[in-house]
Amino acid sequence: MTGTLSTTAERLYLSMKELPIVSPHGHCDPSWFAQNQPFANPAALLVTPDHYVFRMLYAQGIPMADLGIGAPGAQADPREVFRLFAAHWHLFLGTPTRLWMEYVLRETLQVSQPLTAQTADAIYDDISERLQQAEFLPRALFERFNIETLATTDSALDDLAHHKSLRASHWPGRVIPTFRPDGVLDPLDPNFAANLAQLAKITDHSLDSFDSYLAALRMRRAEFIDCGATATDHAIDIFFLGPLYLSVAKGTATQEEARRFYGHMLIEMAQMSIEDGLVMQLHAGSRRNTNRTILDRFGRDMGADIPLTTDWVNGLDALLNRVGNSTKLRLILFTLDETTYAHALAPMAGHWPCLRIGPPWWFHDSANGIARYFDQVVETAGYFNLAGFNDDTRAFLSIPARHDLWRRGVALHLSHQIERGAFGLSGAEDLAPLLAVDLARQAYRIEV
């Protein structure tokens, strides 16, 4: 992540570089920090769990099994996996994965050699050795990364044991949960019935009525809040929001009824957010697991999720017209359909008091993706209807790299704005820390 910033951009970047990291949405495992055990090996840390990495390798014909991914019996020597990754490192030229990984290797793991097929073994050994050292344990890295707050994403059925243990410990690192209830809201989830049974069990509620179901959800939200949660998170592929109440617990609903039920439950969630203050996040428009062979053999989330177009205007109509004028509600929208930035999300966030636009997500969390986001969003929504940055990652080591890429993107954007006459340097200097940390704190109601 060298490159040649202009003098103005460089100055703005430096003003943000050392600010703490606020990470209000992501997928790190709270057990890492609760247990503080060393990471297993370089492949398990950097390659195997990263869907950005293995989807690219798979696209170029490398079998998933060679990466040690998939079927329970599948085992691959982590050193071999790392070699395979190193031998195909050129495939990532031009992608943010390459930038993130270079940053991690250079800045965090202190690897000075470039990664090649020839250096793979030596680098593997270096990293393996470091991972056993005290300063590379999860809590030490958390502190070195200067993370102020890290939110994880946790099932509504999670017992929050790790979060409770963290709060009971004397470690000052702030790791908080996020309430993710898809499994108990979406009747199309294959485990929906089992999930409801589990919800009944852990809340000691019968769930024999809609009201008791809502009450159980409220109980769980309260427990998350007790553990420090400030937000919920919801994924949806296509919107079917409608005011239809129906019993779907028995699994007799049609697919459309199930979608309507889930849509309706998002409105209930918004109403609960008005009551309990949890910020609501909506990640929309991913068609999951589009490769059925991969799904059958290797399971979910194996790199075959592809974005769909999203109709935010009609899709959110019922929800917004029910609760959207409440200034108590905070609803953060994330899209994979960039065509909606300028013609839907920015005009909507520039009108509805409850809305904030989340940062570029997933395939769009990249240098050009960030540039397109600012280009298309700011002129209509301004800066104060944005939610700052999220890294949204389960790759813990990449967190500083991702925030660094964002801050460089902010610096470039602001320097272009100055060139185009949108505002002067002092305006940009006010906006820089806002975009780096303050908007994230404010949007997620994270108190410092």
Residue in this structure with the two tokens 């079927």, named with its chain if needed: 71
Out of 27, 98, 264, 283, name the contact with its own copies by CB under 8 A.
98
With binding defined as CB under 8 A, does residue 287 bind its own copies? Answer: yes
Binding mask 151-190 toward its own copies (x if CB under 8 A, else -) reads ----------------------------------------
Residues 316-355 that bind its own copies (CB under 8 A): 317, 320-321, 324-325, 327, 336-339, 342-344, 346-353, 355
The answer to whether 209 contacts its own copies (rule: CB under 8 A) is: no
Write the CB contacts of 63 (distance below 8 Å, at least 6 apart in sequence): none
Q: Report the alpha-carbon distance of residue 26 to residue 33 in Å, rounded.
A: 14
d(CA 192, CA 190): 6
- Determine, following the binding rule CB under 8 A, whether residue 313 of this chain makes contact with its own copies: yes
What is the rounded CA–CA span in Å between residue 446 and residue 20?
14
Binding-site member from 110, 252, 290, 448 for its own copies (CB under 8 A): 290
- The 10 Å Cβ neighbour count of residue 354 is 21
Q: Which residue lies nearer to its own copies by CB, 97 or 128?
A: 97
Which of 93, 134, 168, 447 lies at the binding interface for its own copies (CB under 8 A)?
Answer: 93
Choose between 33 and 406: whose C-beta lies nearer to its own copies: 406
For residues 231 and 237, give the distance between their C-alpha atoms in angstroms, rounded to a whole number. 20
Q: Which is nearer to its own copies, 206 or 255 (CB)?
A: 255
Residue 237 CB partners (closer than 8 Å, separation 6+)? 284, 285, 286, 287, 288, 308
When asked if residue 7 is in the footprint of its own copies (CB under 8 A), the reply is no
Cβ within 8 Å of residue 273, ≥6 positions away: 232, 279, 280, 328, 329, 330, 331
Is 9 one of the binding residues for its own copies (CB under 8 A)? no
Strand order in the sheet with 147-151: 21-23, 147-151, 175-176
User: Hey, what's the torsion of the CAs at 108, 114, 119, 125, to 10 degrees?
Assistant: -10
179-180 and 154-155 strand pairing: parallel
Residue 438, both tokens:
């303050």
CB of 285 to its own copies, least distance (A): 8
Between residues 59 and 122, which has the closer beta carbon with respect to its own copies?
Answer: 59
Distance CA(211)–CA(209), nearest Å, equals: 5
Which residues ranging from 39 to 78 are in contact with its own copies (CB under 8 A)? 55-56, 58-61
CB of 115 to its own copies, least distance (A): 13
Q: Is 235 one of the binding residues for its own copies (CB under 8 A)? A: no
* Nearest distance in Å: CB 370, its own copies: 10
Q: Could you tell me the smallest distance in angstroms from the CB atom of residue 147 to its own copies?
A: 24
d(CA 156, CA 178): 9
Q: How many residues does the chain have?
A: 448
Cβ pair 233, 25 in contact under 8 A: yes
**CB of 188 vs its own copies, minimal distance in Å:** 17
Q: Which one among 209, 309, 445, 448 touches its own copies, defined by CB under 8 A?
A: 309
Among 303, 315, 359, 400, binds its own copies (CB under 8 A): 303
Longest dimension (CA), the chain: 65
Q: Which of 125, 379, 425, 448 binds its own copies (CB under 8 A)?
A: 379
Question: Which one of 91, 200, 235, 274 is in contact with its own copies (CB under 8 A)?
Answer: 91
Structure tokens at 188: 């199309």
Contacts of 11 (CB under 8 A, 6+ apart): none
Beta bridge partners of 281: 233, 332
Task: Round to whole Å and give the CA distance between 356 and 105.
Answer: 34
Residues in binding contact with its own copies, number by CB under 8 A:
87
Torsion of CA 191, 194, 200, 206, to 10 degrees: 120
Minimum CB distance to its own copies, residue 61 (Å) = 4
Q: Which of 118, 382, 425, 445 binds its own copies (CB under 8 A)?
A: 382
90 touches its own copies by CB under 8 A:
yes
To the nearest whole angstrom, how small is the minimum distance from the Cβ of residue 127 to its own copies? 22
Q: Which is nearer to its own copies, 58 or 261 (CB)?
A: 58
Q: Which of residues 406-425 bind its own copies (CB under 8 A)?
A: 408, 412, 417-424
For its own copies, the closer of residues 34 and 348 by Cβ is 348
Closest CB to its own copies among residues 198, 291: 291
For residue 335, give the nearest of 327, 343, 326 by alpha carbon.
343
3-state secondary structure of 175: strand
Of positions 31, 36, 95, 212, contacts its own copies by CB under 8 A: 95
Contact call for residue 16 and its own copies (CB under 8 A)? no
Q: By C-beta, is 67 or 304 nearer to its own copies?
A: 304
